[in-house]
Amino acid sequence: MKSKYKVIKYKITLFFIGFMFLFSALMIIFLNIRFNHNNSSIIKIYANIESINHYEYGTIKKRKFANIVYSFVYEGKNIILTNSYLEDNNNNLLVNSKTEIFYDTKSGTIINEPNKYTLILAFIFIFLAIVIITFAFKLKQNNIYVSPKLYK
């Protein structure tokens, strides 16, 4: 009887992992669709860079970050926002220069453009979720069984 409970425990664990992969994939796809099809609230703005403060973060491996302060005028209001990013991504930003950012008018924040590799990652997550969930269904069926060590 103990082994039956252990199999049920492993099935529940596998279902949970599979559904977490599926949930992550759906969130990635939702965020990509939100960015691409909700053009009414996300606009492209040329903002002035007010200041750039560089700092390092990390205990073992120090990584360089830059805290950038943007300012722009939207609907007659002067808006000042900040955004942090890894310095290696874009080294050509200078103080008092213009750069292109995506501004969400509903939330009032800067949004990064989604990368095409995140969609590839979402499809990998969907594939992993399908494999894990089908393995959980077939556990203790069709010659797929739990190791004898679990019966002790």
* pLDDT for res 150: 53
Output the 3-class SS for 21-86.
HHHHHHHHHHHHHHHHHCCCCEEEEEEEEEEEEEEEECCCCCEEEEEEEEEEEECCEEEEEEEEEE
Residue 141 pLDDT > 60: no
Put residue 58 in one of left, alpha, beta given phi > 0 → left and psi -120 to 50 → alpha. Answer: left
Residue 143 pLDDT > 60: no
- Enter the pTM of the model: 0.60
Q: What is the pLDDT of residues 60-110, one digit of tens each?
A: 877 777 788 888 888 888 888 887 665 555 566 777 888 888 887 877 778
Under the banding of pLDDT at 50, 70 and 90, the label for residue 128 is very high
